Amino acid sequence: MKDLLKAFDLSTPYYNISTGQENWVGNSKKIIDIKSPVNNDCIGTIQLADNHSYKVVVSKAKEAFPIWKSMPAPQRGDIVRQFGDALRKEKENLAKLVSYEMGKSLQEGYGEVQEMIDICDFAVGLSRQLYGLQMHSERPNHRMFEQWHPLGIVGIISAFNFPVAVWAWNATLAWICGNVCVWKPSEKTPFSAMACQEIFKKILKQNALPEGISNIIIGDSDIGKLMASDYDIALISATGSTKMGKSVSQTVGKRLGKSILELGGNNAIIVTQEADLDIAVPAIVFGAVGTAGQRCTSTRRLIVHKSCYQNLLDKLIHAYKQLRIGNPLNEKNHVGPLIDVDAVNDYLKTIEEAQKQGGNLVYGNNVLKGEAFKSNCYVMPTIIEAHSNMSIVRHETFAPILYVFSYDTLDEAIFIQNNVPQGLSSSIFTQNMQQVETFLSNSGSDCGIANVNIGTSGAEIGGAFGGEKETGGGRESGSDSWKAYMRRQTCTVNYGKNAHLAQGIVFNL
């Protein structure tokens, strides 16, 4: 793993990297060892940023903003294109680092880096499509139109489960819109983030551009609070728990700043009596156990028509028994570790509470032991038969725990799905078009993502990503999400020889 760090010019112990200088500064006494959940080995040592480091970072960003925003958007897009090309060259190394530091399977690590490449491609095209509208004015010889301008500094707070991709969703769009970025990655996965920063820093240097266009600061929640309260940061895009998001929203709201919130998910799949189970089972299993259940889009609830309930449950148990759990760098393994022992404890406590509330454990509930699992972070994916009055199913636990419900009518299934505080991703499996359209109607899923015959995980970058209710309402990545990173300006030009007031008002002097 040391060879991987050297590939990105990262040495260990590695101290506060928040200033973008060779001799990192920072007076924080908070020094932490970053250990891999794969084998508990220490990847490196990080000195967390302090208030002084934070001010240095923001100062660099403020200095770079006038230079960056003055470049034509297509030229900014070309810088992002170069970043995407660099990611292609570094895909294997970066994927391995992500997998080792976070614990997701290597295939998922490759997928995460591919998401970064894809959003770079999307942003490059978008850099020539930052369109405004032209409207017909009610006044003669007037032209009315809208245009879009960059906001300034965009602050990005990302979570450990996608240590690099979610940053790229935000940063690439923010960059082509003319903004500069300050990124606070999770302190649980800093080295993957630093590798990305080193890659982009080389691109900036090759193009004689200031490093302050892209900034990184490794810190704990205190740094996040500084970002949320900072008037110099025009937009905060925060990914994480609902609790964190509520705090960010309140703090940013007090200063009337802008925020994009991507928070908790409690995602459900509905399987109707007319579903193709051969399609449904692989999607359910990956949705429930992929990334060891640590995706915001992980499948946490399965709502199955009573006519196929037992058949599907038997198929799931059979599939779970085929899962290989172990070192995620071994591509034969399906499931890697949870991020740390705290996550393991949450897994155990949740299963215990579910059983207390009447849930029937049908598979799992085991922390794996032995030399291959010496980090104590490997757990068995778990299936629990549930019922609607179990309060535990309304809460998100970042672990591979799947609750299974039965239902009689589609309306009942949709009610069960929607009857949680979160509203991120949802799916239905059916070959019945009427059921499909009901699920997609305004009486159907209340989530930001609604899928048919595919699972809840695996969103593509072309569509806007985000959810409703306690998921936060934010949208990142594709579609017209770029508008969140810009300010709209309505302009009216009088090219005539007379002064006309709107609404036909006459004001004679």
State how far the Cα of 323 lies from the Cα of 34, in Å rounded to an integer: 28
Alpha-carbon separation of residue 367 from 292, 338, 381, 397 (angstroms): 13, 10, 10, 16
Could you please report the per-residue DSSP string of 276-300?
-HHHHHHHHHHHHHGGGG-STT-EE
Task: Answer yes or no: 262 catalytic.
Answer: yes
State the catalytic residue, choosing from 112, 115, 187, 262. 262
Alpha carbon distance, N-terminus to C-terminus of the chain: 79
The CA-based diameter of the chain, rounded to the nearest angstrom, is 91
- At 364, the amino acid letter reads G
> CB within 8 A of 226, min separation 6: which ones?
51, 54
Whether 55 contacts 226, CB under 8 Å: no
User: How crowded is residue 500: how many other Cβ atoms within 10 Å of its Cβ?
Assistant: 15
DSSP letters spanning 236-267: EEEES-HHHHHHHHHHHHHTT-EEEEE----E
CB-based contact 301:269 (threshold 8 Å): yes
* The token pair that represents 21 in the structure block: 């200088």
Q: What is the 3-state secondary structure (H, E, C) of 68-100?
A: HHHCCHHHHHHHHHHHHHHHHHHHHHHHHHHHH
The residues carrying an active-site annotation are: 262
